Amino acid sequence: MDTITSAIRRPRDWQPSQFIRLSIGLHLVAGGFLVLRPEGWPLALETLALDHLILASLGLWPKSKGLGPNWRRLPFDDAFNNRVALTFDDGPDPIVTPKVLDLLDATSSTATFFCIGERVLQHKGLVQDIVARGHTIENHSHYHRLGFACSSVRGFVEEIGRAQEAIAEMTGRAPRFFRAPFGFRSPLLEPALCELGLDLVSWTRRGYDTRERSTQRIQKRLLQGLSDGDILLLHDGHSAKSLTDQPVVLDVLADLLATLREEGLQGVSLDQGIPAFMNDNDAHTTGASES
C-alpha cells in the first residue's frame, strides 16, 4: 500500500469564520489608520492586542466555533436517534485499551479512538484489534505536545499529516476527524485541517478522567443532562487512577454503558453518527442543539 496516498483525503475549501473575517478586516483598518495617522499607533496597538487576546481565548475554549467548524454534537437524524458518540483520547494504551474494548464488546457498543500517531506505530497489533472489533481510529496529532497550538499552518500540516500517514499505514483507512491535543488550537489550525481534508471534533461533555480520581464525580459530569446526540470524551491513554488504584476510565465506562442501556441509548462511533457527506454547518439546519 502507498501509505502517503492512502492518507490523503479530499481537501476542503477554507471558509474563514465570521470572527476571523472581522479580525482580518480589523488588521487592515488598523494598517490604514497608521498610514494616515502614524501618531495614533498606541490606539491601533491596543485594538490589535485586544483582538489577539480574544483569538487566544477562543483557541483555549475547546468547544468554540469562533475559529472555524467544530463538531460538538451529532447531527439530528429522525431515522437514527437515541445515539451517544463514545470517544477515547490519547491511546492506544497496551494495558487500558484492551479492557476498554472488552467493555464495549459486552454491550455491543462502538466507539471512536483519537490516537496519537507515535503510539499507533508502537502498538500495531492493538491498533488492528481496535479496527477488527468494529471501532474507528481518528487523528489526535503525532506527538501530543503541550505546545501543539503554537504552530504555523505548515507545522500543523506536517504533524497532523504524519499521524494521518501512521494511522493509514496501520489500519488501511485515512482518518476523517481530528481532535486537538488538550482541545487547544489557533486560527491557523482550520486552514491546515482543510488542506488535509479533516474535520475538527470536540465534545458535548467530558469527565476530566485524566486528573479526577472519583468515579462518582466523573459519572456526574458525563451523565447529568445526557441526551441523544451527545459526544462524550473519555481517555484510554493517560487515565487517572481511581481510589482503588486502577485506571478510573474502566470503572466509569462500565457504569456509563450500563446507564446508556437502561436509558435506551446506544454508544456509537463518530462515523456512524456523522454522515460522510455532511459538514459541521449542516448540523444547525438539521435540528441539532448544543447543551
> pLDDT tens, 30-46?
999 899 999 999 999 99
Q: Is 177 helix (H, G, I), strand (E, B) or coil?
A: strand
Strands 199-200 and 205-206: unpaired
Give per-residue pLDDT as tens, 122-170: 999 999 999 999 999 999 999 999 999 999 999 999 999 999 999 999 9
Burial of residue 156 (number of CB atoms within 10 Å: 0-12, 13-18, 19+): buried
Rounded distance, CA 26 to CA 32, Å? 10
* pLDDT tier for residue 171 given thresholds of 50, 70 and 90: very high
pLDDT tens-digit readout, 30-87: 999 899 999 999 999 999 999 999 999 999 999 999 999 999 999 987 667 899 999 9
The pLDDT value recorded for residue 76 is: 83
Tell me how far apart the alpha carbons of residues 137 and 169 are, in angstroms, rounded to a whole number.
Answer: 12
Report whether pLDDT(266) > 90.
yes
Helix (H, G, I), strand (E, B) or coil at 273: helix
Please give the Cα distance from 156 to 153 (Å, whole number). Answer: 5
* Per-residue pLDDT, 284: 38
Specify the pLDDT at position 288: 39
Residue 289 pLDDT more than 50? no
Residue 248 has pLDDT above 90, yes or no: yes
According to DSSP, the residues that pair with 85 across neighbouring strands are 231, 268
Instruction: Please indicate whether residue 247 or residue 278 has the higher confidence score (pLDDT).
Output: 247
Give the residue carrying C-alpha cell 500540516. Answer: 157
Produce one character per residue of 205-217: b if its CB has 16 or more CB atoms within 10 Å, e if not. Answer: bbbebbebeebee
Average pLDDT, integer, range 258-287: 79
Q: What pLDDT score was predicted for residue 79? A: 65
Alpha helices in the chain (DSSP H): 3-7, 18-36, 41-59, 96-106, 117-122, 124-132, 153-171, 189-196, 215-223, 248-262, 270-273
1 HSE (CA, 13 A, CB side)? 16
280 has a pLDDT exceeding 80: no
Mean per-residue pLDDT for 101-109? 97
Per-residue pLDDT, 77: 76
Instruction: Quote the CA–CA distance of 76 and 180 in Å, as a whole number.
Output: 24
| CA 11/CA 193 separation, integer angstroms | 8
DSSP-derived letter for residue 179 is: -
pLDDT averaged over the chain?
92
Give the type of residue at 177.
Answer: F
202: closest CA among 240, 163, 230, 174?
230
pLDDT at 281 over 80: no
DSSP strand E in the chain: where? 83-91, 112-115, 136-139, 177-178, 199-200, 205-206, 231-235, 266-268
What is the identity of the amino acid at 7? A
Is pLDDT of 291 > 60? no
Length of the chain: 291
- For residue 102, pLDDT beyond 70: yes
Res 4: pLDDT: 47
**If 0-12 CB within 10 Å is exposed, 13-18 middle and 19+ buried, where does residue 182 land?**
middle
pTM, 2 dp = 0.92
Does the pLDDT of residue 240 top 90, yes or no? Answer: yes
H or E stretch including 172?
Answer: none
- Residue 182 pLDDT more than 90? yes
Sign of CA dihedral 181, 185, 188, 189: positive
Which pLDDT belongs to residue 9? 85
pLDDT in tens, 118-131: 999 999 999 999 99
User: CA 271 to CA 175: how far, in whole Å?
Assistant: 10
Name the residues annotated as catalytic: 89, 235
